[in-house]
Structure formats: structure tokens, C-alpha cells
Amino acid sequence: MGANKRVVSTVVGGISSLVSVIASPILASAAFSNANTTINATVAATISISSGPTVAIAVTPTAGGSLSSSSDSVYVSTNNTAGYTLTLADSDATTNLTSGGNTIGAHAGTQASPTVLATNKWGYRVVNIGGFGATAYSGESNVTSSTSTWAGMPATGAANTIKTTAATANLDLTTVWYGVRATSSQPAGVYTDTVTYTATTN
């Protein structure tokens, strides 16, 4: 008989017989334990900006002053879910447009209280920001009588906020207009200055 069988002797009707019984196997209890691990993947916030590189404004001066304007397109992209803030300032402490020893000064109007552009001054405007209002602006060319309002460019370190968002952005556009009003007393030349846009994640 096999190893898993045992012999049982019984007596039936006075007759002894041997019965083979299959024994059940004896099983051991299994032991186990669990451990959990949390995976944290941190995706860093990124931001990028592009503009210009040059805004060309052509002015034919008149005795009383002639105004021309042109725009710059500023594009910002960010994966930050809280959005971004865009600021504008001159790249240095000098806010004049210069051509050799000649200058066109920054306008006295402010972003909060923009005013009609003074003669032999330059400025900027952004629709629907500060005191500029929401009316669309399409630019001007050698206009001798204009009611458009402008702000003077702030120096570096005193930047003005020109947009704030609250979501991710992909090539989000901000149009910034620049204007110059010149009289015939302003010396001819190419007047230049550099402005800096800064985009920061919120």
C-alpha cells in the first residue's frame, strides 16, 4: 500500500477485513504582508517669451507735430496653471530715444492716467490695461490731430504690469503700441531705445 494510505481492520459479521483508507494531506498556513509606495512626479513650471525684434515708426514732422505709431507682438507660453504676469520697462535708466546727441524724451502720461502724446515725445499703449480703455486701436500714420492717449516708458526697476493671466498659455499674444510725435524742429535721424518685457509665472 502507498505512503498516503493507512490500513484499518474492521470486523463485519464476525469477519475481519482490511480496509484501505486514503489519508488527507496536511497543509501549512501561508503568511503574507503588504507595502505601498506613492509615486510623486514633479513637473517644473516653464515659461518662454518672444517679441520684436524691432518696431519701426516713420514720422514726417510738421510745425504743430505729427504722430505715427506701430505695434510689437509679445508672445508668452507657460505650463503654469496659475498663469503669468507680463511687465514692461526700459532696459536702462535712460528712457529717451536717441540719435547721436539728439533725443526724443519719454511722454509724461502714465499707464494709470495716459494722456494725448506731447510733441517731440514717445510713449506706449496697451488696449484694456490701466487707463487706456477697451476700445480697439489700429495705429496712426502722420496724424496731426490725434486723441489717442499714451504712457511714458518707465525706467528699469520700475516696470509696469501690462498683463496678468490665471491659466496655462500657448503663444498668448499681447499687442504693445509705440507712438512718436515730432515737430519740424526735431532733428532728422533714426532715434533708438530698447525696452524689456519680462514674463514671470504666478
Residues 6+ apart with CB under 8 A from 118: 107, 108, 181
Which residues are 84's β-sheet partners? Answer: 201
Q: What is the pLDDT of residues 115-168, one digit of tens each?
A: 999 999 999 999 999 999 999 999 999 999 999 999 999 999 999 999 999 999
- State the cell numbers at 10: 474492521
Distances (CA, A) of 48 to 137, 149, 150, 185: 26, 30, 28, 42
When pLDDT is averaged across residues 48-52 and rounded to a whole number, the result is: 97
Whole-prediction pTM value? Answer: 0.83
Residue type, 122: W
Write out pLDDT tens, residues 64-117.
999 999 999 999 999 999 999 999 999 999 999 999 999 999 999 999 999 999
- In tens, the pLDDT along 158-192 reads 999 999 999 999 999 999 999 999 999 999 999 99
First-to-last CA distance in the chain?
A: 84
What gap in Å lies between CA 200 and CA 202, rounded to an integer? 6
